[in-house]
Structure 1
């Protein structure tokens, strides 16, 4: 029955959420979300104060913290990681990093009941961050691992071409560069949704129940582009 705080600054949006999950009762989820592309540092911690106050939760009552670990904006990821790690250290609570691409998938599933999703974020430099997911009753299953790649190299998950796919995220603004196979397989593309802390809180609560909470020092952002560069340089 955790009480969990999640925060995110991985994109143009900035958000914070408190999830109170109690046995035998509906979840209480309080959130703030703003499009603040150049004001993450100024808005993130006030948002945290706002959601804690609205939920009636003192910091000492938190069981865990979570943040959007990436992929996403390098600067934004560092802002959220620093804030979340500082809070987790100070409160001596476990920390969980949540995939921004998975959070996008859960958000689209919760709001529109889409089941087969490819989430993609614009990674700049002619590339996208992308992954494919299958969603069912609030659960998000990974179909392809997160990757950074040129949009023309994006492919539908093997063995799943028959599904009516939905694309979500800013990476789909590069639609014209994508392959004919991908374009033919997409039933709908939503370019406006951004990762949100409320979806991260739900994912983190399930991960916490599965024993995935870690000491703050062990949880690091995921940049993907650094990983690819290292692999090519070996």
Structure 2
């Protein structure tokens, strides 16, 4: 495992989750269930973890962020926070899909299943390191591997994967959406702009 201090966090579901790792060692972690309020709670949780572990912002080597799929607003909160921290601290922010993080250290083949809104399921199959399906959303699961329970807590898995990928080229974290947003553009015409 590469050395360095990794911060991993996720707000893609009804939780606010964060973890700090030094190499492979878990310094501290927290997962707080919450249906809303992740935007207000994320930074206080991170600051609490930093204080608990005696780590400062400048000690961080990499940021890992859960990019979904999941709750639209929650994903945007975490991705925006990771991008801002990356820019201000001058360290990489690496997006990690939630199913990939949940599959960390599971024997292959495996299937990760995440409950979604309106009785839908988000699922992804992992066959081996080279062959992975894309995340899908449906009402029922198609034939395939039985659903597996994660063995590594989500924010810890995100932090571990980010630290392992820190030295590789990577794009900025971006949300993973499986369906279009529920919001629609306003029907009212905007104000007329005068020259």
Indicate the TM-score class for this superposition, using the shorter chain for normalisation: 0.7 to 0.9
- Structure 1 residue ranges without an equivalent (≥5): 136-140, 157-164, 169-189, 228-234
Partner SS for 1:106: coil
- Structure 2 residue ranges without an equivalent (≥5): 182-195
Of 66-75 and 141-150, the range deviating more from structure 2: 141-150
**Equivalent residue for 2:147, pick from 158, 161, 167:** 167
Aligned to 1:123: 116
Matched, 1:41 2:39: yes
Q: Residues 83-128 of structure 1: CA distance to partner in whole angstroms, max 9, x if unpaired?
A: 1111111112111001101112227x3xxxx543211223334532
Report the number of matched residues: 179
Aligned to 1:7: 9
Structure 1's 193 and 72: CA in aligned 2 closer, same or farther, altered over 3 A?
A: farther
Aligned to 2:102: 104
Cα root mean square deviation, aligned: 2.7
**Equivalent residue for 2:54, pick from 53, 56, 62:** 56
Q: Residues 33-69 of structure 1: CA distance to partner in whole angstroms, max 9, x if unpaired?
A: 1111212122211110011122221111211111101
Structure 1's 30 and 142: CA in aligned 2 closer, same or farther, altered over 3 A?
A: farther
Distance 1:206 1:35 in 2: 27
Distance 2:134 2:8 in 1: 21
Q: Write out aligned runs for 1:69-80 (5 A).
A: 69-80=67-78
**Equivalent residue for 1:147, pick from 124, 135, 138:** 135
Matched, 1:20 2:22: yes
Structure 1's 20 and 193: CA in aligned 2 closer, same or farther, altered over 3 A?
A: closer
Of 26-35 and 62-71, the range deviating more from structure 2: 26-35
Matched, 1:200 2:158: yes
TM-score by length of 2: 0.79
TM-score by length of 1: 0.67
Cα offset, 1:167, TM superposition? 1.1
Cα offset, 1:143, TM superposition? 4.1
Aligned structure 1 segments of 4 or more residues deviating by more than 3 angstroms? 192-195
Distance 2:165 2:117 in 1: 30
Matched, 1:86 2:88: no
The answer to whether the 8 A contact 2:121-2:141 is kept is no
Aligned to 2:193: none
Aligned to 1:32: 30
